[in-house]
């Protein structure tokens, strides 16, 4: 339906229900409560409008975002009660005249006009970001949060049992106080006084013990859930395809796994426990209050509308801002992370000041959002406190009248007032915590976004043949990176890597050599053509099997912050020290490792920062060789080795050729010269292929590459 008709429906509902609400409430309420009536009519009108909005939004298009429409409904509904309350201070006679003229066309006209003006102002001041989550997402996150707690249902039942027990114990005390008041007033049997005192003492002790057990079980369960959630999150992040990591910053991911889970866990531990605690109290208090006076309780429930609606409306903007603040913090973290990981580059360009300014400008953005967040937080706090106070005053006022009319006994009144005081403070606490709980839901939304993300990977293969030959074939492969779909990195590329041979891939920078490697490593899927291993598409092979059979050594290998032995045996589980040593010897790494203080147990520092690039390359080569791969890919893997070291590594690789297929990528033409077959890649296409001698005789691109390198050597 057209948004205009949606608004018209809302208007019709308002005009139709307003007289009914007014006459119903003025009929059931005592006539001596003139100031309460407009507020109850206003709140009931608001309730109707918001419920109608909810129903309409399911089937029809809304002209504005629902949060904004909720705000406009609040303005429309509360304008008259505010006006009548203010008028009563100055001119009580006029306010009495206004009491029953809600549906007068002049009043309606002014209400709608002022709401329209406030809508224009709000629209200008608070443009609603499209990135913000709407209420449905929050409800979904709440459902997911509950699903997280499901496996611990037994523990929560125990918590609930002790919670009821301790709350009941605490709430029984006012009832005994009421009995004692009656005893004092009527001077009954003295033994009933002693019984009441003993019962009160026993109930207090039992309630304290129950609370202790309840807290212990609850907090232990919550810390268990926290570590379980972090585990699940890291699993789902690691499951994602490479494109996800290409398009999501490390700072963002780190922020989800650390900051967001901590915020969620803290809120769940402290706020949720309080929320449960006070909610249980609220239920029990209401039960006791109904037992004491149905009328007074009915009045209390009517006023409850204020305390439910106000935080809902004030909390919406606060929650949206909280999401933006977290995003901005994550952006600032990303800058810091980037700076720390590129420390050497920063220092070598003396750009410390530049990096500081970049970080500070991001912090400035966060600060601006924080200021807004603080403002909304304060507004929501004031709104919550005010509504709590209004509730307290209203209940005391009406309760006092019932007592003076003799409808409630003296003892019951004392009990009711004590219950009512506890009830108001419980409502107050619930209101105070409401924004925090919403903040936790805000954090959990982003966590669940990652947890529920289905990796865009082809279905897992099962092939794991024991006798793999290692023939690789590229058949008319065309590929663009998903993050740059308009740029073709490989165009109709076809070649074969035969087993027992070294095939070299050469070409100028950005020709697409590493792209070939990334496709071979199954980081991406080609859009056209096929890549086969022993005649079968790569996707049909079992992932673990494939990773063991195909090993890559890249130009800038990354090592983990553990010992050299652990780095060489990375991902292999239990392997003998002897085989680690053998792999290191083949990769010409054994000598420099033996010279280190703790030999193979020496730590390499974060990202292998304590080793030179040449040493890192040899350790990475040993790591690849230890797996005894059928296909070995060397992507400029020996570029930082000296001539002697490179020769040793090359000899070792050529000696073990019978066991494997080798793809060698190098910018050093003398390394390539020895290969059995050479492929020349230019602009994502294979332009030449053959042996060194054949290609040199052709005097094509390969020959030019040689000439370039030869002339640069001569110049040097």
The length of the chain is 716
Site for ligand ATP in 614-653 (CB under 6 A): none
Q: Segment contacting ligand ATP (CB under 6 A): 7-15, 111-119, 156-164, 482-490?
A: 482-490
Other residues' Cβ atoms within 10 Å of the Cβ of residue 641: 23
User: For residue 505, what are the β-bridge partners?
Assistant: 665, 679
Closest CB 241 distance from ligand ATP, rounded Å: 12
- DSSP strand pairing (550-553 vs 472-480): unpaired
Is 691:680 a contact under the CB 8 Å cutoff? no
Closest CB 5 distance from ligand ATP, rounded Å: 47
The yes or no reply on residue 245 touching ligand ATP (CB under 6 A) is no
For tokens 């070598």, what's the residue?
A: 348
* Binder of ligand ATP out of 130, 404, 483, 576 (CB under 6 A): 483
Closest CB 503 distance from ligand ATP, rounded Å: 16
DSSP letter at 610 equals T
The residue among 189 and 510 lying less far from ligand ATP, judged by its C-beta, is 510
Closest CB 505 distance from ligand ATP, rounded Å: 9
Q: Segment contacting ligand ATP (CB under 6 A): 26-34, 478-486, 542-550, 612-620?
A: 478-486
Closest CB 617 distance from ligand ATP, rounded Å: 15
Q: Segment contacting ligand ATP (CB under 6 A): 65-73, 85-93, 138-146, 480-488?
A: 480-488
| CA 28 – CA 290 distance, rounded (Å) | 18
- DSSP strand pairing (488-497 vs 631-635): unpaired
Largest CA distance in the chain: 123
Closest CB 355 distance from ligand ATP, rounded Å: 24
Is 235:397 a contact under the CB 8 Å cutoff? no
| CA 139 – CA 142 distance, rounded (Å) | 5
Can you give 40-75 as a three-state secondary structure string?
HHHHHHHHHHHHHHHHHHHHCCCCCCHHHHHHHHHH
* Binder of ligand ATP out of 1, 23, 91, 246 (CB under 6 A): 246
Is 194:179 a contact under the CB 8 Å cutoff? no
488-497, strands of its sheet edge to edge? 488-497, 472-480, 528-533, 536-537
Closest CB 509 distance from ligand ATP, rounded Å: 4
The yes or no reply on residue 360 touching ligand ATP (CB under 6 A) is no
Q: Segment contacting ligand ATP (CB under 6 A): 5-13, 476-484, 586-594, 653-661?
A: 476-484
The yes or no reply on residue 708 touching ligand ATP (CB under 6 A) is no
- Rg over CA atoms, the chain: 37
The yes or no reply on residue 484 touching ligand ATP (CB under 6 A) is yes
The yes or no reply on residue 520 touching ligand ATP (CB under 6 A) is no
Q: Segment contacting ligand ATP (CB under 6 A): 205-213, 220-228, 508-516, 526-534?
A: 508-516
Closest by CA position to 620, among listed 574, 659, 564:
564
Closest CB 668 distance from ligand ATP, rounded Å: 12
The residue among 348 and 483 lying less far from ligand ATP, judged by its C-beta, is 483
Q: Cα angle at 341 between 340 and 342, to 5 degrees?
A: 90
The yes or no reply on residue 264 touching ligand ATP (CB under 6 A) is no
| CA 124 – CA 223 distance, rounded (Å) | 44
| CA 267 – CA 433 distance, rounded (Å) | 9
* Binder of ligand ATP out of 513, 522, 630, 660 (CB under 6 A): 513
The residue among 333 and 518 lying less far from ligand ATP, judged by its C-beta, is 518
Closest CB 614 distance from ligand ATP, rounded Å: 18
Closest CB 612 distance from ligand ATP, rounded Å: 21
The yes or no reply on residue 514 touching ligand ATP (CB under 6 A) is yes
Q: Segment contacting ligand ATP (CB under 6 A): 259-267, 327-335, 512-520, 566-574?
A: 512-520
The yes or no reply on residue 511 touching ligand ATP (CB under 6 A) is yes
Beta strands in 160-244, from DSSP E residues, in sequence order = none
Q: Pattern of binders to ligand ATP over 37-76, x per CB under 6 A? A: ----------------------------------------
The yes or no reply on residue 481 touching ligand ATP (CB under 6 A) is yes
Secondary structure of the chain: what % helix, strand, coil (to 5)?
Answer: 70, 10, 20
Is 217:165 a contact under the CB 8 Å cutoff? no
Closest CB 635 distance from ligand ATP, rounded Å: 8
Binding-site size for ligand ATP (CB under 6 A) equals 13
Closest CB 515 distance from ligand ATP, rounded Å: 4
* Binder of ligand ATP out of 296, 489, 589, 593 (CB under 6 A): 489
For tokens 């002693």, what's the residue?
A: 194
Is 517:491 a contact under the CB 8 Å cutoff? no
The residue among 219 and 481 lying less far from ligand ATP, judged by its C-beta, is 481
The residue among 246 and 360 lying less far from ligand ATP, judged by its C-beta, is 246
| CA 424 – CA 444 distance, rounded (Å) | 30
For tokens 């598409």, what's the residue?
A: 537
Alpha carbon dihedral 470, 476, 482, 488, in 10-degree steps, equals: 130
Give the tokens for residue 113: 């006009």
Sign of CA dihedral 440, 426, 39, 91: negative
The residue among 509 and 597 lying less far from ligand ATP, judged by its C-beta, is 509
Is 62:3 a contact under the CB 8 Å cutoff? yes
Say which residues have a Cβ less than 8 Å from residue 188's Cβ, sequence separation at least 6: 182
Q: Segment contacting ligand ATP (CB under 6 A): 23-31, 509-517, 526-534, 542-550?
A: 509-517
* Binder of ligand ATP out of 238, 509, 643, 658 (CB under 6 A): 509
Closest CB 620 distance from ligand ATP, rounded Å: 16
DSSP letter at 486 equals T
Give the tokens for residue 646: 């490179």
Closest CB 667 distance from ligand ATP, rounded Å: 7
Closest CB 538 distance from ligand ATP, rounded Å: 18
Half-sphere exposure (CA, 13 Å, Cβ side) for 648?
15
| CA 257 – CA 265 distance, rounded (Å) | 12
| CA 267 – CA 273 distance, rounded (Å) | 9
Closest CB 554 distance from ligand ATP, rounded Å: 10
The residue among 412 and 636 lying less far from ligand ATP, judged by its C-beta, is 636
The residue among 306 and 511 lying less far from ligand ATP, judged by its C-beta, is 511
Site of interaction with ligand ATP (CB under 6 A) = 246, 481, 483-484, 489, 507, 509-515
């Amino acid at each position: 339906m057209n948004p205009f008709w949606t608004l018209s429906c809302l208007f019709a509902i308002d005009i139709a229900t307003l007289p009914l609400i007014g006459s119903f409430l003025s009929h059931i309420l005592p006539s001596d409560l003139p100031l309460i009536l407009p507020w109850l009519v206003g709140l009931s009108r608001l309730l109707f409008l918001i419920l109608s909005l909810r129903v309409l939004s399911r089937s029809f298009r809304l002209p504005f975002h629902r949060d904004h429409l909720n705000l406009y409904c609040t303005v429309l509904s509360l304008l008259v009660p505010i006006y009548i309350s203010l008028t009563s201070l100055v001119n009580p006679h006029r306010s009495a005249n206004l009491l029953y003229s809600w549906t007068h066309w002049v009043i309606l006209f002014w209400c709608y006009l002022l709401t329209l003006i406030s809508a224009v102002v709000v629209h200008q001041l608070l443009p609603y970001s499209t990135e913000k989550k709407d209420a449905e997402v929050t409800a979904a996150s709440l459902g997911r949060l509950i699903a997280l707690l499901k496996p611990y249902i037994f523990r929560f039942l125990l918590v609930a049992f002790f919670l009821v027990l301790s709350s009941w114990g605490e709430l029984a005390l006012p009832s005994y106080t009421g009995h004692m008041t009656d005893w004092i007033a009527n001077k009954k049997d003295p033994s009933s006084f002693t019984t009441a005192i003993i019962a009160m003492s026993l109930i207090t002790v039992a309630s304290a013990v129950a609370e202790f057990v309840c807290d212990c079980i609850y907090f232990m369960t919550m810390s268990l859930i926290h570590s379980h959630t972090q585990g699940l999150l890291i699993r789902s992040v690691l499951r994602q395809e490479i494109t996800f990591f290409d398009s999501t910053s490390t700072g963002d991911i780190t922020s989800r796994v650390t900051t967001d889970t901590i915020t969620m866990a803290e809120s769940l531990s402290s706020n949720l426990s309080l929320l449960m605690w006070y909610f249980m109290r609220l239920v029990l208090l209401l039960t006791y209050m109904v037992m004491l006076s149905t009328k007074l309780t009915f009045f209390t429930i009517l006023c409850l509308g204020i305390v439910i609606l106000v935080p809902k409306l004030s909390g919406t903007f606060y929650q949206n801002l909280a999401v933006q603040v977290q995003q901005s913090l994550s952006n600032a973290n990303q800058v810091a992370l980037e700076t720390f990981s590129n420390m050497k580059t920063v220092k070598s360009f003396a750009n410390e000041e530049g990096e500081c300014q970049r970080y500070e400008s991001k912090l400035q953005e966060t600060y601006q959002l924080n200021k807004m967040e603080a403002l909304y937080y304060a507004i929501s706090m004031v709104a919550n406190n005010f509504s709590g106070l209004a509730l307290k005053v209203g209940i005391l006022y009406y309760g006092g009248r019932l007592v003076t009319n003799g409808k409630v006994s003296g003892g019951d009144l004392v009990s009711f007032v004590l219950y009512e005081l506890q009830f108001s403070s419980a409502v107050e606490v619930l209101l105070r915590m409401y924004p925090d709980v919403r903040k936790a839901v805000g954090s959990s939304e982003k966590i669940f976004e990652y947890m529920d993300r289905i990796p865009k990977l082809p279905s897992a293969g099962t092939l794991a043949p024991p006798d793999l030959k290692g023939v690789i074939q590229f058949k008319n492969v065309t590929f663009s990176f998903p993050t740059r779909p308009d740029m073709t990195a490989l165009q109709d590329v076809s070649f074969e890597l035969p087993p027992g041979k070294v095939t070299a891939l050469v070409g100028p920078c950005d020709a697409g050599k590493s792209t070939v490697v990334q496709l071979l490593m199954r980081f991406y899927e080609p859009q056209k053509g096929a890549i086969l291993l022993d005649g079968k598409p790569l996707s049909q092979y079992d992932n673990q099997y494939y990773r063991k059979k195909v090993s890559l050594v890249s130009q800038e290998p990354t090592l983990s912050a553990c010992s050299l032995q652990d780095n060489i045996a990375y991902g292999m589980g239990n392997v003998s020290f002897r085989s680690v040593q053998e792999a290191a010897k083949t990769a010409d790494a054994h000598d420099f490792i033996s010279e280190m203080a703790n030999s193979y147990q020496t730590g390499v520092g974060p990202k292998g920062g304590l080793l030179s690039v040449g040493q890192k390359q040899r350790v990475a080569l040993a790591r690849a060789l230890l797996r005894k791969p059928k296909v070995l890919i060397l992507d400029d893997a020996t570029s930082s080795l000296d001539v002697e070291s490179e020769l040793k590594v090359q000899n070792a690789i050529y000696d073990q050729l019978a066991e494997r297929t080798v793809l060698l990528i190098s910018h050093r033409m003398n390394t390539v010269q020895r290969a059995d077959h050479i492929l020349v890649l230019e602009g994502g296409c294979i332009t030449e292929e053959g042996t060194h001698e054949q290609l040199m005789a052709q005097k094509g691109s390969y020959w030019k590459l040689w000439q370039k390198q030869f002339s640069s050597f001569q110049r040097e």
